[in-house]
Chain A
Amino acid sequence: MILPLRLEGVTYRRIIEPLTLELGAGPSTIILGANGAGKSVLMRLMHGLLAPTHGKVSWSGENPRRHQAMVFQRPVMLRRSALANVVYALKIAGVADAHRAAMGALEEVGLAHLARRSARVLSGGEQQRLALARAWALHPQVLFLDEPTASLDPSATREIEALIRAFDAAGTKVVMATHNLGQARRLGDEVLFIHQGRLVERAPVDQFFSKPASAEAAAFIKGELPWV
């Protein structure tokens, strides 16, 4: 098990102020905040795509990289078939029988019938499902999601959210950045509220929405609610 993940005094340029926190296995964590608050940067620091300016990001267990995956707002697909995109990820991870595992993951997200289709010609929602299949195939212990539905229509969003719930139910630790309050409520167990690069509040999701402890969170909830 690579969790808990520890951040100690982590900063990134002037985007993230010194931040210390620990993420354990279990509840899904929503990183919530306005655009530009530093959600994506924080997530990239956790996932190791960015190196902190100061401080330390540490995982437990062996080979933590292999046991985490990330799905981006805009999935990046290689110019090859949907199946080949998943196989590519599995081969890097050193999975034996990558072909079969990839097919299984495509079935899991309901894309098996499009396996031979070129990934880049799929719709936005299908590409995001494919990105989830690629992550799923790796059986990560931790799955990072960076605004995974921000550029999708409502029906595609519902499909993605259902898949994220399935990940969660299968025991994967879900860490998702979003500015969408409805989505935070639907998918989150706990909320990390980020405001101008600072972790302002950490609370269970119900408590966060009913009794926000900070003025910034209260204002964010109030300001966002009408558009949920």
Chain B
Amino acid sequence: MHSILEAIRAAVGLIASGDATLGEIVLLSLSVSLSAVALATLLGLPLGAAIAVGRFPGRRAIIVLLNALMGLPPVVVGLVVYLLLSRAGPLGELGLLFTPVAMVIAQTILILPIIAALCRQSVEDAWREYEEQLRSLGAERAGAALTVLWDIRFSLLTAVLAGLGRASAEVGAVMIVGGNIDGVTRVMTTTIALETSKGDLPLALGLGIVLIAIVLALNAAAYLVKEAAQRRYG
């Protein structure tokens, strides 16, 4: 018990003193995960909306597949991206392995299905309400889908947050494709795993506290935005 308290005290000290190593790691984590979320949102929302309102053969199979992919194991995504980017792999010449870019790619693949699948569900529910009215007004299907997407944009925050939660919490994918290189690809989760096994609990715990605080703050902000929007727009 005493050593835990000790570690917590040291962790808080690290955070309070603005430790440079800790700051660097937090910054890299955020930039990797937020980049992945931005990319996955950009691709996932239109993809989800298209599947929601589209009528094409194989649609139901795609929905099942997409839902299943929400549970992709990060280490498997890491392994596949590793194989693609490794020197002998098809994209090896780009030299991306063990760089932050590789981590962004892996996390994007990991969370794209989450954002697309949740968006698909939201748009499909809204579509039931909007479809007749929008068709009656003469809107084309693609245009109507974009209208619905924009109209429920605040509900879609939840889908984006689910993606962010997944990206910022996973270790497996970034560990494999990033390599956990000190000062280059070391992020919060991989550092926590490493420092814990080394026995340096204060840094691990400090990062854990920061990680949880960031996720909590982002979710609180999103909740407030959504609530304000609901009051304003109904």
User: A196 → chain B, closest Cβ, in Å?
Assistant: 24
In the complex, per-residue mask of A74-93: 1 if CB is within 8 Å of any chain B CB, else 0: 01101110000000110011
Q: Do B151 and A79 have beta carbons less than 8 Å apart?
A: yes
Contacts of B152 in A (CB 8 A): 79
Residue A119, interface by CB 8 Å: yes
Are the C-beta atoms of B234 and A119 separated by less than 8 Å?
Answer: yes
| Minimal beta-carbon separation of A214 from chain B (angstroms) | 31
In the assembly, what is the distance between CA of A64 and CA of B151, in Å? 28
8 Å CB contact of B151 from A66, A69, A70, A78: A78
- Whether, in the assembled complex, A1 has its beta carbon less than 8 Å from a beta carbon of chain B, the answer is no
Instruction: A200 to B232: give the CA distance in the assembly, Å.
Output: 48
- Chain B's interface size range is 10 to 19
Count chain B CB atoms within 10 A of each CB in A47, A49, A92 and give the residue with the most: A92
Contact at A76–B129, with CB atoms within 8 Å? Answer: yes
CB <8 Å contact, B137 and A49:
no
For residue B233, give the distance in angstroms from its CB to the closest CB of chain A.
4
Q: How far is the CA of A76 from the CA of B132 in the complex (A)?
A: 9
In whole angstroms, what is the CA distance A79 to B152 when docked? 8
Are A76 and B234 in touch, CB under 8 angstroms?
Answer: no
The answer to whether B132 touches A72 (Cβ under 8 A) is yes
Q: By the criterion CB–CB under 8 Å, are B138 and A70 in contact? A: no
Chain B residues 8-22 with CB under 8 Å of chain A are none
Q: Are B138 and A93 in contact (CB under 8 A)?
A: yes
> Which residue on A lies nearest to B130, using beta carbons?
A76
Name the contact of B234 in the complex, choosing from A66, A92, A118 (C-beta under 8 A).
A118
Task: For A134, list chain B residues within 8 Å (CB).
Answer: 137
Question: Which residue of the partner chain, among A66, A72, A119, A120, contacts B138 with CB atoms under 8 Å?
Answer: A66
**Contact of B132 (CB < 8 Å), options: A49, A69, A119, A120:** A49
- Complex contact A79–B233 (CB within 8 A): yes
Q: Complex: how many Å from CA A47 to CA B135? A: 10
Report the separation of the CA atoms of residues A72 and B147 in the bound assembly, to the nearest whole angstrom: 19
Interface residues on A, range: 20 to 34
Chain B CB within 8 A of A21 CB: no
B31 within 8 A of A: no
B132, B137, B232: the one within 8 Å of A92 (CB): B137
Contacts of B133 in A (CB 8 A): 72, 75-76
Q: Of B130, B135, B232, B233, which contacts A49 at CB under 8 A?
A: B135
The reply on A65 being an interface residue by CB < 8 A is yes
Query: Bound state CA distance, A65 and B136, in angstroms?
Result: 8
Q: A49-B132, A72-B133 are in contact. Are A118 and B232 (CB under 8 A)?
A: yes
A121 interface residue per 8 A CB criterion: yes
Closest to B133 in A: A76
Q: Is the CB of B136 within 8 A of A121?
A: no
Chain B residues contacting A121 (CB-CB under 8 Å) are: 233-234
B139 lies within 8 A of chain A by Cβ? yes
Contact flags A97-137 to B (C-beta < 8 A → 1, else 0): 00000000000000000000011110000000000001000
Bound Cα distance A80, B152 (Å): 11
B54-88 residues with Cβ-Cβ distance < 8 A to A are none
With both beta carbons as reference points, the residue of chain B lying nearest to A81 in the complex is identified as B233
When chains A and B are docked, how far (Å) is the Cα of A88 from the Cα of B150? 13
- A73 to chain B minimum Cβ distance, whole angstroms, is 11
Give the interface centre of B137, B138, B139, B233 by most chain A CB atoms within 10 Å. B137
Q: Among A70, A76, A89, A134, which residue has the most Cβ atoms of chain B within 10 A?
A: A76
Q: Is the CB of B233 within 8 A of A80?
A: yes
Contact of B234 with A65 in the complex, beta carbons under 8 Å: no
- B residues 130-160 near A (Cβ < 8 Å) are 130, 132-139, 143, 147, 151-152
**Residues of chain B contacted by A80 (CB below 8 angstroms):** 151, 233
Which B residue sits closest to A94, measured CB to CB? B138
A137 to B: closest C-beta gap in Å: 11
Selected A-B contacts with CB under 8 Å, 16 pairs: A49-B136, A69-B137, A72-B132, A72-B136, A76-B129, A76-B130, A76-B132, A78-B147, A79-B152, A79-B233, A80-B151, A80-B233, A88-B137, A92-B138, A92-B139, A93-B137
**Which residues of A does B touch, CB under 8 Å?**
44, 47, 49, 65-66, 69-70, 72, 75-76, 78-80, 88-89, 92-93, 118-121, 134
| Nearest 9 CB-CB pairings of A with B | A120-B234, A76-B133, A79-B233, A121-B234, A70-B136, A118-B233, A89-B137, A79-B151, A92-B138
